[in-house]
Amino acid sequence: MALFRYPRPLPSEITPRDMYLSRRSLIGGAAALGAVSATADAATLQTHPGPYSGNLTPTPHEDVTHYNNFYEFGMGKADPATQSQTFHPLPWTLEITGLVRKPVRLDVEQLLRSPAIEERIYRMRCVEAWSMVIPWDGIPLATLLKDADPDPHATHVAFESIVRPAEMPGQTEALSGIQWPYVEGLRLDEAMNPLTLLALGIYGETLPNQNGAPLRLVVPWKYGFKGIKSIQRIRLLDHEPPTTWNRLAPDEYGFYANVNPQVDHPRWSQATERVIGARSLFGATRQPTLMFNGYGEQVADLYRGMDLRKNF
């Protein structure tokens, strides 16, 4: 399955939402390619409903795009939206290297036109005890990894984000102690799980800069910080890779970071979560946090026999 590597762009797959762009200019594939790469605005993705979406009501687009953590653009929840506007996500090349038989270099502009892109509406649970429901558009990571043909010795997958201090003001914040690039990792079987998604968009459009453009990881049964954004390199390894938050505070953020209401963060309880989207101070709600964020049926087997208190 390598459809996304040699896509046949159809006009319908690349029509931007922006009404001021004339539809006629987009009929030619070349013109459309230019339109996608030249505008920082969200462009419509050709997507179709995928599995595992369940019966969830998405959090308003405004909240998904204006309340999140992306420390490359600042420490505040509003910083990513306000400070990411000069970031240029395209052109972009994604590398899949390391213990693979066929190293891959993917042109993300082509990936954005892949017919393999599907919608997954997932719960998103932040380690800070708040949650959203986000309609992602993306390609299962397993599809891309299979394409690179992992070596039998590969046991883990390491992800690396981008370093661009000129466009990412948070990377010049010396006090935080964060080493750039942001790095994350999964066990290979976690990476191959059908839930694990390489997201290229939200709400049927390309990812806004603040949400990790042009592509990011989504692992819905883990805390949000595992969802590394603006990924440049994926490497297959035979050992567990270091991960950014674990390096900063190993007693607070584990490698696994599975959502678990029974294992608290040292500073707060993980039993419940604030539901984002209330808008009014006195209308906000809390709900119980679900084991594996409600995806136990799909992933509990990955951790059978493991002490989840130790491997938090």
Partner 1 sequence: MRARLTPAVSEIPGVLKRHWRLVLYPVGMIPAVWLVWQGQHGALGADPVNVFERSLGLWAFRFLLVCLALAPLRRFTGLNLLRYRRLTGLLAFFYASLHLLAYVGLDHGFDWSVLWVDMTHRYFIILGMSALVLLIPLALTSNALSMRLLKRRWKFLHRLIYPAAILAGIHFFLSFKTLNSVSAPYLAALALILLSRFLPRSRTGNGV
- Count Cβ neighbours within 10 Å for each residue of 91-107 and write b for 16 or more, e otherwise: ebebbbebbbeeebebe
| Sheet strands (E) in 154-257 | 156-161, 183-187, 197-202, 205-206, 216-218, 231-237
DSSP, res 87: -
Stretch binding partner 1 (CB under 8 A), from 91-99, 109-117, 193-201, 264-272: 264-272
Please state, in angstroms and rounded to a whole number, the distance separating the CA atoms of residues 190 and 156.
9
Give the residue, chosen from 175, 297, 304, 307, that forms a contact with partner 1 under the rule CB under 8 A.
175
Q: Residue 244: name the closest of 77, 69, 100, 63 by CA.
A: 69
Give the residue, chosen from 105, 247, 286, 309, that forms a contact with partner 1 under the rule CB under 8 A.
286
Rounded alpha-carbon distances, angstroms, from residue 291 to 18, 188, 270: 41, 21, 10
Q: In the complex with partner 1, which residue's Cβ is closer, 15 or 68?
A: 68
Stretch binding partner 1 (CB under 8 A), from 60-68, 101-109, 185-193, 197-205: 60-68
Q: Is 266 in the site for partner 1 (CB under 8 A)?
A: yes
Least distance between partner 1 and beta carbon 261 (Å) = 11
Residue 209 identity: N
Give the residue, chosen from 12, 176, 262, 311, that forms a contact with partner 1 under the rule CB under 8 A.
176
Q: In the complex with partner 1, which residue's Cβ is closer, 43 or 259?
A: 259
Instruction: Pull the structure tokens for residue 302.
Output: 């990955």
Residue 228 labelled as part of a binding site: yes
Give the residue, chosen from 5, 61, 66, 164, that forms a contact with partner 1 under the rule CB under 8 A.
66
On whether the CB atoms of residues 292 and 312 are closer than 8 A, the answer is: no
Spacing of C-alpha 191 from chain mean position: 13
Please state, in angstroms and rounded to a whole number, the distance separating the CA atoms of residues 241 and 46.
34
Site for partner 1 in 208-237 (CB under 8 A): none
Q: Is 57 in the site for partner 1 (CB under 8 A)?
A: no
Q: Is 187 in the site for partner 1 (CB under 8 A)?
A: no
Q: Is 290 in the site for partner 1 (CB under 8 A)?
A: no
Residue 216 labelled as part of a binding site: yes
Q: Is 27 in the site for partner 1 (CB under 8 A)?
A: no
Please state, in angstroms and rounded to a whole number, the distance separating the CA atoms of residues 296 and 9.
37
Q: Is 267 in the site for partner 1 (CB under 8 A)?
A: yes
Q: In the complex with partner 1, which residue's Cβ is closer, 4 or 253?
A: 253
Residue 227 labelled as part of a binding site: yes
Q: In the complex with partner 1, which residue's Cβ is closer, 53 or 272?
A: 272
- Count Cβ neighbours within 10 Å for each residue of 257-289 and write b for 16 or more, e otherwise: bbbbbebebeeeebeebeebbeeeeeeeeeeeb
Residue 146 labelled as part of a binding site: no
DSSP, res 10: -
Q: Is 276 in the site for partner 1 (CB under 8 A)?
A: yes
Residues making contact with partner 1 (CB under 8 A): 62-63, 66-67, 75-78, 130, 173, 175-178, 248-249, 264, 266-269, 271-272, 274, 276-282, 284, 286
Annotated binding-site positions: 68, 71-72, 126, 161, 211, 216, 227-229
